[in-house]
Amino acid sequence: MGTDLVVRDGRIVLPEGIIQGELSIENGMIKRIALTGIPKGDQEIRARGRLVMPGVVDGHAHFYSRKYVYRESFRTGSIAAAAGGVTTVGVSPLDYPINTVARAQEIIRTGESSSMVDFILHAGNITPGFARNLVKLASMGIRSFKVSNCFPSPCTYEGMEKVMDLAARLECIVIAYPEDAALLKELRKKMMREGKRDILAYVQGHPPEAEERGITRISELASRVGCPVHIAPVTTASGCRAVSKFKEMRSRITSETCPHYLTFTLKDLERLGARLKVAPPVREADDRSALWEAVESGLIDIITSGHAPTTRAEKEMGKINVWGTPSGVPSLETMLPVMFTEGVVKGRITVERLVALLSSRPAQLFGIYPRKGVIREGSDADLVLLDVRNEMRIRAENLHYPVEWTPYEGMRVRGIPFMTLSRGEVIMREGIVESSGGRGKFLKRGES
* CATH classification of the domain holding 288: 3.20.20.140
> Predicted confidence band at 2 (pLDDT cuts at 50, 70, 90)?
very low
* Residue 309 shares a structural domain with residue 161: yes
pTM of the model: 0.97
* H/E run at residue 303: strand 302-303
Write the DSSP assignment of 48-105 as a string of letters.
TT-EEEEPEEEEEE----GGGTTT--HHHHHHHHHHTTEEEEEE--SSS-B-SHHHHH
* Residue 42 shares a structural domain with residue 72: no
3-class secondary structure, 176? strand
* CATH classification of the domain holding 39: 2.30.40.10
What does DSSP say about strands 416-422 and 425-429: parallel, antiparallel, or unpaired? Answer: antiparallel
What sign results for the dihedral spanned by CA atoms 323, 100, 78, 423? Answer: positive
| 440 in a structural domain | no
* Residue 174 shares a structural domain with residue 247: yes
| 448 in a structural domain | no
Q: Which of 314, 336, 365 is the last residue of a domain?
A: 365
| 387 in a structural domain | yes
Instruction: Report the chain's mean pLDDT, rounded to a whole number.
Output: 95
* Residue 404 shares a structural domain with residue 317: no
* Residue 154 shares a structural domain with residue 281: yes
| 446 in a structural domain | no
What does DSSP say about strands 86-91 and 173-177: parallel, antiparallel, or unpaired? Answer: unpaired
Q: Which of 365, 391, 421 is the last residue of a domain?
A: 365
Cis peptide before 330 (omega within 30 of 0): no
- Of 63-77, 201-215, 235-249, 366-380, the one with minimum mean pLDDT is 63-77
* Residue 39 shares a structural domain with residue 60: no
Region 83-107 average pLDDT: 93
Length of the chain: 448
* Residue 114 shares a structural domain with residue 212: yes
> Predicted confidence band at 435 (pLDDT cuts at 50, 70, 90)?
confident
| 438 in a structural domain | no
Asked if residue 411 has pLDDT above 60, the reply is yes
Structure confidence at residue 3 (pLDDT): 56
Q: Which of 320, 344, 365 is the last residue of a domain?
A: 365
| 18 in a structural domain | yes
* Residue 73 shares a structural domain with residue 179: yes
Rounded Cα distance between 140 and 122, Å, is 12
Rounded Cα distance between 180 and 219, Å, is 13
> Predicted confidence band at 447 (pLDDT cuts at 50, 70, 90)?
low
Asked if residue 1 has pLDDT above 70, the reply is no
What sign results for the dihedral spanned by CA atoms 20, 23, 28, 31? Answer: negative
Structural contact between residues 251 and 216, judged by C-beta atoms closer than 8 angstroms: no
* Residue 269 shares a structural domain with residue 323: yes
Domains of the chain: total: 2
Read off the pLDDT of residues 348-392 as tens digits, 9 standing for 90 and up. Answer: 999 999 999 999 999 999 999 999 999 999 999 999 999 999 999
* Residue 120 shares a structural domain with residue 21: no
Cis peptide before 149 (omega within 30 of 0): no
Rounded Cα distance between 251 and 223, Å, is 5
Count H helices and E strands in the chain, helices first: 15, 19
* Residue 9 shares a structural domain with residue 145: no
Read off the pLDDT of residues 246-289 as tens digits, 9 standing for 90 and up. Answer: 999 999 999 999 999 999 999 999 899 999 999 999 999 999 99
| 120 in a structural domain | yes
Structural contact between residues 446 and 368, judged by C-beta atoms closer than 8 angstroms: no
Residue numbers of the domain that contains 123: 55-365
* Residue 48 shares a structural domain with residue 59: no
| 9 in a structural domain | yes
